[in-house]
Amino acid sequence: MASSEAALSVQELIKKPVSSVPERYIVKLDHNHEPSPVQDETIPTINLKNLIHGEATLELQKLDSACRDWGFFQLVDHGISQLVLETLKDEIEGFFRLPLEEKMKYKIRAGDVEGYGAVIISEDQKLDWGDRFFMITNPLSRRKPYLLPELPSSLRSILELYIAELQNVAMTIVGVLLGKVLKIEKREWEVFEDGMQSVRMTYYPPCPQPDLVMGLTAHSDATGITFLNQVNGVHGLQIKKHGIWIPVNVSSNALVVNIGDILEIMSNGLYKSVEHRATVNSEKERISLAVFFAPKFESEIGPSVSPTNPPLYKKIQMEKYVEDFFTRKLNGKSYLEHMKIK
């Protein structure tokens, strides 16, 4: 196997028993070894059914404070059936079990960020302990013909069903947050309808020295709102609160939802796009599926402001924003910093 291929797949790397982690994956981490009073805290739970039907006002207040204080919540009663979630799990597990040659058909091509594998910018770059598959799924015109359309058909159909259902859930939540709570005019947030949608599937193999590596480097999501499905129920996600990394424990079948940079911008800083990262463990593989929603490429993104609420962020064309973002490496919240009016 050529060295560039070895770098593409941690799953391949650990097929031969390894007792120590190769240098390229070793990173200095601020694991919180000291007990901290906030470590017992956990992200709020929001019930989608209640948000729509039941005690909507109470649930709406909970959602509003979750997005202000945490930037994260777990969503239950989201309406996505057990059957869909189980089929999705089987299909994604099956995909990562395919031989490397099969997965390499989808490998990231030079200069691109979509496809299977790691985005390698330099030879001395540290690598995450995880194999990723990232692709844009909407608008249809942006789908790379050799990615989603070429996936095994059973995986493709369940993914398409899942992302179509999530699109509705995302629209409901964006409508509640920006429309009902923040009273932003519909024309400003309906840009999420038929907007940019992308998907990242990640396979994190068990690691002999999990404290030396990172499954996914700390970052905030550049998009609007993200739905994370812990496909095989293994935990590993951590979020940064008051400078401390807090592990996120999710109930089974709940989806983790988080505010991305664009919703932080549109809410003029009221809702927080919080840094998060994925850790790995020595026993169990972990699989996650993140679906990202953002405004249409033709729209302009910027904060909704009033005379008493002056803008804290710049305005930018969505097309330009995506282009700028994809040319940078994931690095904390650096891109959002660049959008701030100083």
Task: Give residues in contact with ligand AKG (CB under 6 A).
Answer: 200, 202, 216, 221, 228, 236-237, 276, 278, 288, 290
What does the buried/exposed string (b/e) look like for 148-167 if buried means 16 or more CB atoms within 10 Å of the residue's CB? beebeeebeebbeebbeebb
Of 190 and 221, the one with the shorter C-beta distance to Fe ion is: 221
Smallest distance from ligand AKG to CB 162, Å? 15
With contacts defined by CB under 5 A, name the span among 11-19, 48-56, 121-129, 218-226 that binds Fe ion.
218-226
CA–CA gap between residue 201 and residue 163 (Å, rounded)? 13
* Under rule CB under 5 A, residue 275 binds Fe ion: no
* Under rule CB under 5 A, residue 221 binds Fe ion: yes
Instruction: Pick one of ligand AKG, Fe ion, none as the site partner of residue 200 (Cβ within 5 to 8 A by kind).
Output: ligand AKG
With contacts defined by CB under 5 A, name the span among 14-22, 207-215, 219-227, 259-267 that binds Fe ion.
219-227
Smallest distance from ligand AKG to CB 328, Å? 14
With contacts defined by CB under 5 A, name the span among 5-13, 155-163, 213-221, 312-320 that binds Fe ion.
213-221
Instruction: Give residue 333's identity as a one-letter amino acid code.
Output: K
Instruction: Pick one of Fe ion, ligand AKG, none as the site partner of residue 228 (Cβ within 5 to 8 A by kind).
Output: ligand AKG
Of 200 and 333, the one with the shorter C-beta distance to ligand AKG is: 200
Instruction: Pick one of Fe ion, ligand AKG, none as the site partner of residue 89 (Cβ within 5 to 8 A by kind).
Output: none
Smallest distance from ligand AKG to CB 209, Å? 19
CA–CA gap between residue 21 and residue 3 (Å, rounded)? 16
Residue 239's H or E segment, with its range, is strand 237-241
Of 181 and 256, the one with the shorter C-beta distance to ligand AKG is: 256
Task: Extract the tokens encoding 282.
Answer: 């020595």
Smallest distance from Fe ion to CB 228, Å? 7
Question: What distances in angstroms separate CA 271 from CA 67, 195, 220, one per listed residue?
Answer: 5, 20, 13
* Residue given tokens 């790691």 in the structure block: 118
Of 257 and 301, the one with the shorter C-beta distance to ligand AKG is: 257
CA–CA gap between residue 241 and residue 244 (Å, rounded)? 5
* Under rule CB under 5 A, residue 264 binds Fe ion: no
Helix (H, G, I), strand (E, B) or coil at 194: coil
CB 296 within 8 A of CB 195: yes
Helix (H, G, I), strand (E, B) or coil at 288: strand
Instruction: Pick one of Fe ion, ligand AKG, none as the site partner of residue 237 (Cβ within 5 to 8 A by kind).
Output: ligand AKG
Of 174 and 274, the one with the shorter C-beta distance to Fe ion is: 274
Residue 311 main-chain phi, psi, to 5 deg: -65, 135
Number of residues that bind Fe ion (CB under 5 A): 1
- Strand 45-47 relative to strand 72-76, pairing: parallel
Residue 74's H or E segment, with its range, is strand 72-76
Of 217 and 317, the one with the shorter C-beta distance to ligand AKG is: 217
According to CB under 5 A, which residues from 70 to 129 bind Fe ion? none
CA–CA gap between residue 229 and residue 290 (Å, rounded)? 6
Smallest distance from Fe ion to CB 306, Å? 31
* Residue whose CB is nearest to ligand AKG in the complex, by number: 288
Rg (CA), the chain: 20
Of 60 and 234, the one with the shorter C-beta distance to ligand AKG is: 234
Smallest distance from ligand AKG to CB 236, Å? 6
Instruction: Pick one of Fe ion, ligand AKG, none as the site partner of residue 278 (Cβ within 5 to 8 A by kind).
Output: ligand AKG
Length of the chain as a residue count: 342
Q: How many CB atoms lie within 10 A of CB 4?
A: 12
Binding residues for Fe ion (CB under 5 A): 221
